[in-house]
């Protein structure tokens, strides 16, 4: 629906602004409308609609693609909170389809099998905003250059092992801190080393943060995991397999939501961590041969 | 005197509101607990996801004390999700959403559509000389209001505005006011300034 004749849609302001509204919240992977409702009931700020959670993609193998539009449509109809969906890296037609379906955010995701090993999607060409994964600051800034409106640290999806999420969040924050301490005349070389545009590097150096919202993802399975990532500087949390691969998804989902809000209060965290049943079984990142690590996808 | 204004910090764009309030000379602090709420002279309810905030409000036993302070006349300002929370009735919300009822308005959630319909525009605002740049994100509108609710801004009437034509997007009742859009995102502090003045006068 269009509103006023002189209004503008799809601007950087409304794309980035949408992500600002998700801050301090939890975005949950769901594969059915029923799971989407459980997530909404638990206080999720958005759901990620997909066919298989990363743990199953990993277990079953094969090529992972955008979900069936019927499934995405069913989830869009089931909840009133924003719905995100994943497109393969570089697959701009999957992104066109997702935009046509009315999803609220597209995740150009390494969890799916890349469709282009050289180029990511030109995200400026879309009205719908994009979130992209990053393992370090240079990667994050390259995604912003292509038009991403939100960044998430990648972690290692489908593992329940939070160590890579920690590594990536620490790396991004450390590189930002380093930039803020550099004299202006060293920012040119810093941009070269980060393989990112000088203007963006300068902006990060002066503000001490990314110009967009930074979430975390990949391996978060407990309230304590979510709170740790928040304490490390994440502005919100994506939880993939961690909820619906656990013993009691509704309770765990609600507990992770509370832990994300009260991330700095150990008393609340202790209370919310009780009686959640089994966490997802998990897989240590070390046990995954390097070519099968999802975080290596994208560049 | 420097007013002490809280920003409800369960979820949402808290930092932007804190910054805007501080630029108007207020002291601003996040509010997540009843004792923090008790210490503030006024409260901003930020943009975010109203269903998530609603749930956390009740779970952390902040709902009742907040209703009590609003009933005593504590000044409050809600943007977008904050406007939904402060309303008397919510359309297209969740059945279990419990509005705070500080303003006699009925709001419709996501009234302007989904994220692809989110927009920015220039908007005339009652009592502010030049139009505001208004950012609407999955925004609600005021579907109806009681007579004593003052309208501060509306989408202009006219063809091409579709069902949004003439809809109320900012309103005030006593010391409580709401906007469907996000002045905290634009760096223009005129709306926050009005709220800080309101808290000062209170």
**DSSP code string of B31-87:** E-SHHHHHT-SEEEE-SS-HHHHHHHHHHTT-HHHHHHHHHTT--EEEETHHHHHHE
Q: Chain A residues with CB inside 8 Å of B55's CB?
A: 42-43, 257
pLDDT of residue B63: 94
Verify whether the Cβ–Cβ distance B51 to A6 is below 8 Å: no
Choose the mutation target among A21, A46, A49 for the interface with B, i.e. most B CBs under 10 Å: A21
CB B59 within 8 A of CB B29: no
Q: Chain A residues with CB inside 8 Å of B30's CB?
A: none
Which residue of chain A comes nearest to B33, CA vs CA?
A262
**Number of inter-chain CB pairs under 8 A, A vs B:** 149
Of A20, A102, A258, the CB nearest to B185: A20
Cβ atoms < 10 Å from Cβ of B48: 28
Which two three-digit tokens encode residue A139? 């990667």
Q: Is A118 on the interface with B (CB under 8 A)?
A: no
Of A9, A23, A82, the CB nearest to B119: A9
CB A18 within 8 A of CB A149: yes
Residues forming beta bridges with residue B27, ordered by sequence position? B4
Which two three-digit tokens encode residue A84? 């995100």
pLDDT of residue B21: 98
pLDDT of residue A4: 45
Whole-model pTM: value is: 0.96
Of A5, A45, A80, the CB nearest to B92: A80
Strands B42-45 and B4-8: parallel
pLDDT of residue A2: 41
pLDDT of residue B68: 97
Q: Is A81 on the interface with B (CB under 8 A)?
A: yes
**DSSP code string of A222-239:** SHHHHHHHHHTT-SSEEE
Task: From A79, A138, A134, A136, select the one nearest A103 (Cα to Cα).
Answer: A79
Residue A270 burial (10 A CB sphere; 0-12, 13-18, 19+): exposed
CB B106 within 8 A of CB B89: yes
Which two three-digit tokens encode residue A204? 């990060």
pLDDT of residue A296: 85
Query: How would you label A242-253 residue by residue, b for 16+ Cβ within 10 Å and e otherwise?
Result: bbbbbeebbbbb
**Å between A268 CA and nearest CA of chain B:** 10
- For the CA atoms of A110, A114, A120, A126, what is the dihedral angle to 10 degrees? -90
Verify whether the Cβ–Cβ distance A45 to B11 is below 8 Å: yes
Segments in chain A below pLDDT 50:
1-5
pLDDT of residue A5: 47
Of B32, B116, B158, the CB nearest to A9: B116
B176 Cβ partners below 8 Å, 6+ apart? B70, B75, B76, B77, B78, B86, B102, B103
Tens digits of residue pLDDT in B84-123 = 999 999 999 888 888 999 999 999 999 999 999 999 999 9
**Options A8, A15, A86, A154, the catalytic residue:** A86
Query: How would you label B84-98 residue by residue, b for 16+ Cβ within 10 Å and e otherwise?
Result: bbbbbebbebbeebe
Q: How far is CA B11 from CA A48, B43, B77, in A?
A: 18, 15, 16
Q: Model confidence at B25, in pLDDT bands (50, 70, 90)?
A: very high
**DSSP code string of A135-174:** SSHHHHHHHHHTT-SEEEE---TTS--THHHHHHHHHHHH
Q: Chain A residues with CB inside 8 Å of B31's CB?
A: none
Q: Is B20 on the interface with A (CB under 8 A)?
A: no
Q: Which of residues 102-141 of B touch A (CB under 8 A)?
A: 109-110, 112-122, 135-138
Rg of chain B on CA atoms, in Å: 15
Percentage of residues in chain A having pLDDT higher than 90:
84
Residues forming beta bridges with residue A47, ordered by sequence position? A28, A83
**Å between A108 CA and nearest CA of chain B:** 17
Which two three-digit tokens encode residue A231? 């304490």
pLDDT of residue A48: 97
Which two three-digit tokens encode residue B115? 């994220």
The pLDDT of B131-149, averaged and rounded, is 97
């Amino acid at each position: 629906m269009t509103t006023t004749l002189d209004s503008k849609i799809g601007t950087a302001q409304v794309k980035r602004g949408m992500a600002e509204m998700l801050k301090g919240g939890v975005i949950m992977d769901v594969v059915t409308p029923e799971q989407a409702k459980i997530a909404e009931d638990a206080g999720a700020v958005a759901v990620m609609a997909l066919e298989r959670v990363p743990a199953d993609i990993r277990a079953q193998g094969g090529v992972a693609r955008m979900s069936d539009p019927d499934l995405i449509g069913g989830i869009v109809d089931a909840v009133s909170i924003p719905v995100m969906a994943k497109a393969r890296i570089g697959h701009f037609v999957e992104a066109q389809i997702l935009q046509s379906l009315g999803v609220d955010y597209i995740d150009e995701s390494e969890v799916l099998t890349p469709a282009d090993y050289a180029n990511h999607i030109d995200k400026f060409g879309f009205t719908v905003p994009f979130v992209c994964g990053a393992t370090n600051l240079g990667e994050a800034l390259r995604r912003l250059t292509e038009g991403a409106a939100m960044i998430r640290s990648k972690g290692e999806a489908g593992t329940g092992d939070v160590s890579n999420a920690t590594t990536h969040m620490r790396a991004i924050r450390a590189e930002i801190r380093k930039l803020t301490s550099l004299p202006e005349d060293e920012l040119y070389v810093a941009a070269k080393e980060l393989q990112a545009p000088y203007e963006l590097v300068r902006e990060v150096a002066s503000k001490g943060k990314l110009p967009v919202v930074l979430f975390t993802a990949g391996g978060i399975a407990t309230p304590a995991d979510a709170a740790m990532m928040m304490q490390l500087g994440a502005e919100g949390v994506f939880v993939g397999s961690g909820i619906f691969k656990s013993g009691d998804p509704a309770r765990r989902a609600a507990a992770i939501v509370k832990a994300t809000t009260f991330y700095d209060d150990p008393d609340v965290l202790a209370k919310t961590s009780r009686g959640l049943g089994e966490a997802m079984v998990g897989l240590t990142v070390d046990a995954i041969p390097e070519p099968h690590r999802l975080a290596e996808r994208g560049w | 005197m420097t007013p002490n204004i809280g920003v409800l910090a369960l979820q949402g764009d808290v930092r932007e509101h804190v910054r805007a309030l501080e630029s108007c000379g207020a002291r601003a602090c996040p509010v997540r607990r009843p004792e923090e709420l008790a210490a503030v002279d006024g409260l901003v309810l930020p943009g975010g996801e109203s269903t998530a905030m609603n749930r956390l409000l009740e779970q952390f036993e902040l709902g009742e004390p907040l209703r009590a302070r609003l009933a005593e006349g504590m000044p409050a300002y809600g943007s977008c999700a904050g406007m939904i929370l402060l309303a008397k009735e919510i359309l297209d919300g969740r059945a279990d959403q419990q509005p705070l009822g500080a303003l006699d308005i009925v709001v419709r959630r996501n009234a302007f559509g989904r994220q692809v319909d989110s927009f920015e525009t220039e908007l005339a605002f009652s009592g502010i000389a030049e139009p505001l740049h208004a950012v609407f994100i999955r925004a609600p509108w005021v579907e109806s209001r009681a007579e004593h609710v003052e309208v501060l801004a509306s989408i202009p009437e006219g063809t091409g505005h579709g069902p949004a034509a003439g809809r109320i997007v900012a309103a005030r009742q006593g010391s409580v006011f709401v906007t469907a859009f996000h002045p905290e995102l634009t760096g223009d502090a005129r709306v926050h300034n009005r709220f800080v003045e309101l808290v000062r006068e209170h």
